[in-house]
């Protein structure tokens, strides 16, 4: 696949890194010579200095032969114009743009990005994507990560297996025997910095991060079995009143009526503006690093504090202080991947990486075959993939035990009609079923092939 990426910042670099590693033909455009030089030095991609919306720059980057343009510069308008130029002058089939300003996303302007006006096939809004990820964590404090698939009927949950976990050293096959009606499958385990797809004879060990695919209706029961049953957070403190903070507070007001939210914002102007836009949320002007301010926000009795300021260090330190003052659960927004490794040693329960969330959303549209959803795990070590099974798929028509799937691929759930089916050796995947599975990085291409339409199909 030939891809042109506009923007060599964190997101652009991350996408280029993933696509180049999979032997795609990648060109990256950025107005910063330093960023272009950096990406050329580190990755097998072509770099071009210039504005991503300029026709001559797009032409030099190979837009005429491109299958896709991904515009993720810091400026919405540059991303929008780059997609328009790619469509009008170079007829690029797929156009993806990152658009952060919510004024462009108002429902009554939804025709703006239609083919007749500004032809953008996929709009990525980091604030909404990250806000939704955090909202799911707030609703399920026992899970380290929660992602929904198959019309929100199937969930992937990540569970930290610590001293509270009663299933440590239990073979996975025994779990199925103990809970025969539980529609949940452990599809991946992150252990000592490595991801693997476990076999039924493997055991969960202390310190593992288990990735489980389950019927959404059985998530809480699954968490309970792993010793992670927690009530939905009702007293929530948010540090940071930017776009993500506003979106998150508004969504909590809409979907969690029993929750009480307090927001701490350092900018007086932002705090006043935010207070005007929210109904039940209390907005406080001050620093999240001020112990007195945290106490005023009720941190000693809080179920969860979410720190989502623009400063990773503020996010980390404010949560360390919150934990010391008695907050039950903490969640940090961390852009710097270098900080991810030691958050737990500081007592921070979890973190969200905005770049990883955005990349997962884009990969969903990069993957070939009938791929409906993609979620990247552990900086690309594996992916959770949702795909449609076609008549021509090698997965269709045989019991799962006869498929001889390669190691590194594990099916977690099958969505048939309106029913979620837990995969067993006797299960048969039928045409039009949706399959949710884990694939290690080196197996993603094979999964794509399994769900591609062969020429004979036509």
Residue stretches of the chain with pLDDT short of 50: 454-458
Q: Are 305 and 299 in contact (CB under 8 A)?
A: yes
What's the confidence (pLDDT) of residue 35?
96
Q: Which domain holds residue 157?
A: 141-225
Residues 19 and 63 in one domain: yes
What's the confidence (pLDDT) of residue 457?
36
Residues 330 and 418 in one domain: no
What's the confidence (pLDDT) of residue 115?
65
Q: What is the pTM of this model?
A: 0.83
Residues 265 and 370 in one domain: no
Residues 262 and 327 in one domain: yes
Q: Residue 96: inside a domain, yes or no?
A: yes
- Write the DSSP string, 353-379: -HHHHHHHHHHHHHS-SSEEEEEEETT
Q: Which residues contact 17 (CB under 8 A, 6 or more apart)?
A: 43, 380
Residues 339 and 239 in one domain: yes
What's the confidence (pLDDT) of residue 433?
94
Domain boundary among 352, 387, 402: 352
Could you give the number of structural domains in the chain?
A: 4
Residues 337 and 364 in one domain: no
Residues 243 and 270 in one domain: yes
* Joined tokens for residue 314: 């503020």
Q: What's the CATH code of the domain at 216?
A: 3.30.70.1450
Q: Are 95 and 68 in contact (CB under 8 A)?
A: yes
Q: Which residues contact 376 (CB under 8 A, 6 or more apart)?
A: 18, 356, 359, 360, 363, 382, 383
Residues 344 and 362 in one domain: no
Residues 96 and 169 in one domain: no
What's the confidence (pLDDT) of residue 453?
57
Residues 10 and 58 in one domain: yes
* Joined tokens for residue 423: 């995969």
- Strand segments, DSSP code E, in 58-143 are 68-71, 94-98, 122-124
Residues 243 and 330 in one domain: yes
Q: Residue 134: inside a domain, yes or no?
A: no
Q: Residue 260: inside a domain, yes or no?
A: yes
Q: CA 366 to CA 348: how far, in whole Å? A: 34
What's the confidence (pLDDT) of residue 456?
39
Domain boundary among 295, 329, 352: 352
Q: Residue 230: inside a domain, yes or no?
A: no
Q: What's the CATH code of the domain at 27?
A: 3.40.50.720
Q: Which residues contact 20 (CB under 8 A, 6 or more apart)?
A: 26, 43, 44, 45
Q: Residue 135: inside a domain, yes or no?
A: no
Q: Are 325 and 299 in contact (CB under 8 A)?
A: yes
Residues 363 and 340 in one domain: no
Domain boundary among 124, 159, 174: 124
Q: Residue 133: inside a domain, yes or no?
A: no
3-state secondary structure of 213: strand
Q: What is the pLDDT of residues 160-187, one digit of tens each?
A: 998 889 999 989 988 888 888 889 999 9
Q: Residue 129: inside a domain, yes or no?
A: no
Q: What are phi and psi of 398, to 5 degrees?
A: -120, 150
Q: Residue 348: inside a domain, yes or no?
A: yes
Alpha helix positions (H), 194-333: 219-225, 243-255, 268-277, 291-296, 312-324
């Amino acid at each position: 696949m030939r891809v042109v990426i506009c923007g060599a910042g964190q997101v652009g670099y991350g996408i280029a890194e993933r696509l180049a590693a999979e032997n795609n033909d990648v060109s990256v455009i950025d107005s910063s010579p330093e960023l272009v030089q950096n990406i050329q030095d580190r990755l097998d991609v072509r770099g071009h200095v210039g504005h991503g919306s300029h026709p001559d720059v797009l032409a030099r980057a190979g837009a005429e032969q491109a299958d896709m343009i991904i515009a993720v510069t810091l400026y919405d308008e540059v991303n929008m114009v780059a997609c328009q130029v790619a469509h009008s002058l170079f007829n690029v089939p797929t156009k993806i743009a990152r658009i952060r300003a919510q004024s462009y996303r108002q429902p009554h302007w939804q025709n703006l990005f239609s083919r007749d006006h500004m032809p953008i096939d996929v709009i990525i809004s980091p604030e909404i994507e990250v806000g939704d990820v955090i909202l799911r964590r707030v609703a399920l404090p026992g899970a380290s990560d929660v992602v929904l698939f198959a019309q929100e009927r199937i969930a992937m949950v990540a569970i930290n297996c610590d001293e509270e976990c009663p299933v440590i050293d239990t073979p996975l096959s025994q779990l199925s025997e103990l809970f025969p009606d539980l529609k949940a499958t452990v599809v991946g385990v992150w252990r000592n910095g490595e991801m693997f797809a476990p076999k039924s004879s493997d055991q969960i060990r202390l310190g593992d991060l288990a990735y489980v695919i389950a019927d959404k209706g059985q998530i809480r029961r699954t968490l309970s079995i792993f010793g992670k049953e927690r009530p939905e957070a009702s007293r929530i403190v948010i540090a940071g009143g930017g776009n993500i903070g506003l979106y998150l507070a508004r969504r909590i007001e809409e979907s969690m009526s029993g929750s009480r939210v307090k927001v701490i914002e350092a900018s007086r102007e932002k705090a006043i503006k935010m207070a005007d836009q929210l109904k039940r949320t209390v907005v406080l002007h001050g620093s999240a690093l001020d112990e007195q301010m945290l106490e005023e926000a009720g941190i000693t009795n809080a179920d969860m504090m979410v720190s989502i300021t623009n400063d990773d260090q503020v996010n980390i330190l404010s949560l360390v202080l919150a934990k010391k003052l008695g907050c039950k659960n903490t969640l940090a927004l961390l852009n710097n991947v270098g900080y991810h490794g030691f958050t737990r040693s500081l007592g921070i329960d979890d973190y969200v990486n905005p770049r990883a969330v955005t990349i997962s959303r884009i990969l969903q549209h990069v993957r070939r075959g009938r791929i409906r959803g993609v979620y990247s795990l552990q900086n690309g070590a594996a992916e959770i993939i949702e795909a449609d099974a076609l008549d021509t798929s090698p997965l269709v028509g045989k019991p799962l035990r006869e498929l001889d799937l390669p190691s590194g691929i594990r099916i977690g759930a099958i969505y048939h009609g309106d029913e979620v089916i837990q995969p067993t050796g006797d299960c048969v995947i039928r045409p039009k079923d949706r399959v949710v599975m884990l694939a290690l990085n080196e197996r993603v291409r094979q999964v794509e092939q399994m769900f591609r339409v062969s020429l004979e199909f036509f």
